[in-house]
Amino acid sequence: MALYYPGHGYYTKDSSKIGKAGDFYTSPHLHAIFGSMIGKQLIEMWELMERPDSFRVVEMGAGMGYLAKDILEYLQQKAVSDQHSAKGRNIFEHLKYSIVELNPSFKAIQQTMLKDFQDKVSWAGNLKELGPVKGCFLSNELLDAFPVRMIEMDDKLNEIYVSVQGDELVEIKMPCNEEVAGYLKELAVELPKGYRTEVNLKAKDWLKEVNDNLSEGFVLTIDYGYSASDYYSEDRSSGALLCYYQHQMNEDPYQNIGDQDLTVHVNFSSLKKWGEELGLKTIGFCPQGTYLVSLGIDEVITALYGDSPDAFEVAKIKGLILPQGMGVSHNVMVQYKGEGRPELRGFSLRNHMGRL
């Protein structure tokens, strides 16, 4: 309710903002080259699928529309340069870009942001409106905003519920149901006494919806998170729920309700397991920084700035790839539906699938 209650939740009210004016920022806010790199990845995917006449990209949770704009501008410019160099067909003329958006005010902002690409972009209120998709489902910091179940191990496994006493919100512990307990069993997770953590079951429903709509292609997921072994390590005995309010982090979800972002790291091992049960093959997983370097971010920097890029621009780009920025905190995962098991350049330096 704090995030999605119609008109009042953090992501559904008119006053929601992302970026410098909001409570947090994402990779597209840091530098437009992030969108260029995703565009570069989409070209590789299109080519691996033997350049279909219609290649559809579905972005879920597009925020202000920066990522979509940067992707489309890169692919448009690439199409022009390829035309001049006589490279033949390009992805841009075969591209359809769909945005799944819950917030009407975000949709209005996105439509303004993407006004130069009206013939390329369409909007949907949910995944069921899309129909069959041949191409790529794309998300950047989407799954971390899904509602989660909070659990704690005492003498038995309990779930944390919220109730009211007077004017105060209070936590109440009740025994876990079989669905939550089964999640831990299928991932072979054993929690010590006093351990509190989260279970994201909504991600399973989301992945099923994506798979139902994907006739052939890729699922590209970028988010901060861990493998199951890292997520449920002894170091994280208090869980991974964080709140962001005016670019300040706190761990109290019971303050600034509806006015602060609530976020939980993603368990990528569960995405791999659930995806494979649906027929989605995991073909790559690694930190964002390694992925961008492997994908050829140096080539794009040279194309944009020549041999002498501006120092300020370089500093922002470093925030995408260095450990002190988003280079290690964020991970990239790609799943595939179709024949064979394609290899992507972004995982050629390092592929951590085995850790999942």
Q: Which pLDDT value is given to residue 305?
A: 84
Sign of the Cα pseudo-torsion (297, 303, 306, 307, in order): positive
Q: Name the amino acid, one letter, at 310.
A: D
Q: Report the C-alpha gap between 178 and 159 in whole angstroms.
A: 11
Dump strand ranges (E) for 17-156. 55-60, 95-100, 121-124, 133-140, 149-153
Residue type, 285: F
Q: Let me know: does 237 contact 194? Beta carbons within 8 Å.
A: yes
Residue 315 has pLDDT above 90, yes or no: no
> Are 148 and 199 in contact, with CB atoms under 8 Å apart?
yes
Residue 79's pLDDT band (cuts 50, 70, 90):
confident
Q: How many Cβ atoms are within 10 Å of 138's Cβ, its own excluded?
A: 26
The span from the CA of 41 to the CA of 75, in Å, is 11
State the amino acid at position 209 in one-letter form.
E
Whether residue 285 is contained in a domain is answered as yes
Residue 6 falls within a domain, yes or no?
Answer: no
For the ranges 176-180, 274-278, 307-311, the lowest mean pLDDT is seen at 307-311
**242/261 Cα distance (integer angstroms):** 8
Q: Residue 331 domain-assigned?
A: yes
* Measured distance CA(299)–CA(141) in Å, rounded: 25
- 3 inside domain: no
Q: Where is 81: in which H helix or E strand?
A: helix 66-84
Q: CA angle, 148 as apex, 249 and 266 as ends, to 5°?
A: 70
- Mean pLDDT to the nearest integer, 66-74: 96
- Over the Cα atoms of the chain, what is R_g? 21
User: Domain span at residue 293?
Assistant: 27-146+200-235+261-355
pLDDT of 207 > 90? The answer is yes
Count Cα neighbours of 51 within 13 Å in the Cβ-side half-sphere. 6
Identify whether the C-beta of residue 225 lies closer than 8 Å to the C-beta of residue 145. Answer: no
Q: Is the pTM of this model over 0.85?
A: yes
Contact 270, 189 (CB under 8 A): no
Taking alpha carbons only, the member of 261, 278, 146, 258 closest to residue 199 is 146
In a domain, 57, yes or no: yes
What CATH number does residue 212 fall under? 3.40.50.12710
| Higher per-residue pLDDT: 246 or 15 | 246
Using one digit for the tens of pLDDT, what is the confidence trace for 126-161?
999 999 999 999 999 999 999 999 999 999 999 999
**Residues 241-296 pLDDT 10s:** 999 998 899 999 999 999 999 999 999 999 999 999 999 999 999 999 999 999 99
Helix (H) or strand (E) holding 243: strand 241-245
pLDDT band, very low/low/confident/very high, at 18 (cuts 50, 70, 90): low
Examine residue 92 and state whether it is found in any structural domain, yes or no.
Answer: yes
What's the total number of domains in the chain?
1
Rounded distance between C-alpha atoms, residue 334 and residue 352, angstroms: 12
pLDDT digits (tens, 9 = 90+) for 43-57: 999 999 999 999 999
Q: Give the residue among 159, 44, 59, 173 at the shortest CA–CA distance from 110.
A: 59
d(CA 345, CA 208): 27
pLDDT of residue 25: 59
Q: Is residue 100 part of a domain?
A: yes
Helix (H, G, I), strand (E, B), or coil: what is residue 117? helix
- Whether 284 is in a domain gets the answer yes
pLDDT at 217: 98
> Which of 31, 30, 95 minimizes the C-alpha distance to 59?
95
Q: Kindly tell me the burial class for residue 225, based on how many C-beta atoms sit within 10 Å of its own C-beta (0-12, 13-18, 19 or more).
A: buried
Position 85 scores a pLDDT of 56
pLDDT score, position 137: 98
